[in-house]
Amino acid sequence: MAFVGHLLALLIQLVFWGGLIVLVIWAVRRFSASRNSDNALSILNERFARGEIDQQEYDTRKATLTRR
């Protein structure tokens, strides 16, 4: 009967550590994706401010970036 208890404890530990690893991977991917989107939007704003693109192109690209 003690074997079943040890097996259950091992299973609980595996689920805990697996869940923790999945949570960390999810958080890293989520925050890196939002940072890339913000970076792209700031570049777009700079290009519009310098006059490299017109209002229509700016609006189109901004809508595409914020749609994600």
Is the CB of residue 40 less than 8 Å from the CB of residue 63?
no
Q: Select the more confidently predicted residue: 60 or 66.
A: 60
H-state helical runs in 1-68: 2-50, 55-66
pTM (predicted TM-score): 0.48
Is the CB of residue 68 less than 8 Å from the CB of residue 39?
no
Considering only the C-alpha atoms of the chain, give the largest distance between any 2 of them, rounded to a whole number of Å: 76
Q: Select the more confidently predicted residue: 49 or 29.
A: 49
Q: Select the more confidently predicted residue: 53 or 3.
A: 53
* Domain residue extents for the chain: 20-66
What mean pLDDT do residues 24-37 have? Answer: 77
What does the chain come to in residues?
Answer: 68
